[in-house]
Amino acid sequence: MNIEIMQALITIIAVLVFTTILYKAMPYRELSATKPGFVFFPKYKHRVAKPDSDFHVEEVMSSLGFRKKESLNGITMYSRGSVLGDISIKLIKVNVTFTPMNDGSLEYTVEPAWVVAFDTGDHWLFSKELGDKLLSESDTSSDN
């Protein structure tokens, strides 16, 4: 193999590793009230009122095509999609993690399973709709 090709491959791999580490180390952004136009490395977090039972969260996540991956010490992780999917929020692998907070709220984080360089609003919209759906589920359960 040509030395220039080898150097190019090593450079590409190094850039991918560096970008992945940088992305994973970056903090989550608070979900803003308005849809952003363009965001680099989208990872969002948001808090909602904690539903009366975990069943409501599972029901919402199931309706969105998510499967529970893990639940440990109150923290529950869900995922859907495929790493080999395209760039659509509906097809890429997305991880959602729920963490109950001491103030009675439920914080959730939304992030692609692998690096996504930018968001034109799809990830924000999904994160917002998830919060709205969790709130409507919570409101419905408290009405009964």
Could you tell me if residue 8 is inside a domain? Answer: no
Total domains present in the chain: 1
**Is pLDDT at 137 greater than 80 in this prediction?**
no
DSSP the chain: --HHHHHHHHHHHHHHHHHHHHHHHSPPEEPPSS--S-EES--EEEEEEPPSSHHHHHHHHHHTT-EEEEEETTEEEEEESBTTS-SSTTTB-EEEEEEE-TTSEEEEEEEESS---EESSHHHHHHHHHHHHHHHHHHHHHH-
Could you tell me if residue 22 is inside a domain? Answer: no
Could you tell me if residue 4 is inside a domain? Answer: no
CATH number (domain holding residue 72) = 3.30.310
pTM of structure:
0.79
Supply the mean pLDDT for the chain. 84
Could you tell me if residue 38 is inside a domain? Answer: yes
pLDDT of residue 121: 80
pLDDT 10s digits, 122-136? 888 989 999 999 887
Could you tell me if residue 116 is inside a domain? Answer: yes
pLDDT 10s digits, 57-113? 999 999 988 999 988 888 999 998 766 655 555 667 889 999 999 998 999 999 888
**Is pLDDT at 54 greater than 90 in this prediction?**
no
pLDDT of residue 9: 94
The domain of 48 spans: 28-143
